[in-house]
Amino acid sequence: MFGLLRQRQPRVKDAAYLRFIRTLPCVICGAQAEAAHLKFSSAKYGKLHPGIGTRPDDKWCLPLCPEHHRLGSASQHATGDEEGWWAAHGIDPCALAIAIYDARSDRHRAMEIIATWC
């Protein structure tokens, strides 16, 4: 029997969670943040690659300031190696995204998580 192809599932959007992420400090420098989606896949965390030109589910994002997210020459988007970029900063982004998502109803707890991890 031929291997089965998995049908792509629609992206799970959560505007309230993205607003929450934007209230948190950048996990690199502590500045005002925006929501930065993690695009790479991770078998360890069950995170699939969203595909070219698409974003992953909103739960797979972290707070990054514009400079670290998309504006700087060494930003998450500019490097071409997102996993390597996070590793260079000493952060396991999937584990951190899961921890923050689990604390989404408690901003104080999310702030503690960021302070502990970063």
Closest CA to 52 of 40, 42, 44: 40
* Residue 8 · residue 51 · CB < 8 Å: yes
**pLDDT value of position 115:** 94
pLDDT for 11 beyond 80 = no
> CA-to-CA distance for 91 and 71, rounded, in angstroms?
20
Average pLDDT, integer, range 6-34: 87
pLDDT for 13 beyond 50 = yes
pLDDT for 1 beyond 50 = no
pLDDT for 5 beyond 60 = no
pTM above 0.95, yes or no: no
**pLDDT value of position 39:** 83
**pLDDT value of position 6:** 53
pLDDT classification of 42: cutoffs 50, 70, 90: confident
Closest CA to 104 of 14, 10, 41: 14
Q: What is the dihedral sign for C-alpha 59, 60, 66, 67?
A: positive
> CA-to-CA distance for 68 and 78, rounded, in angstroms?
9
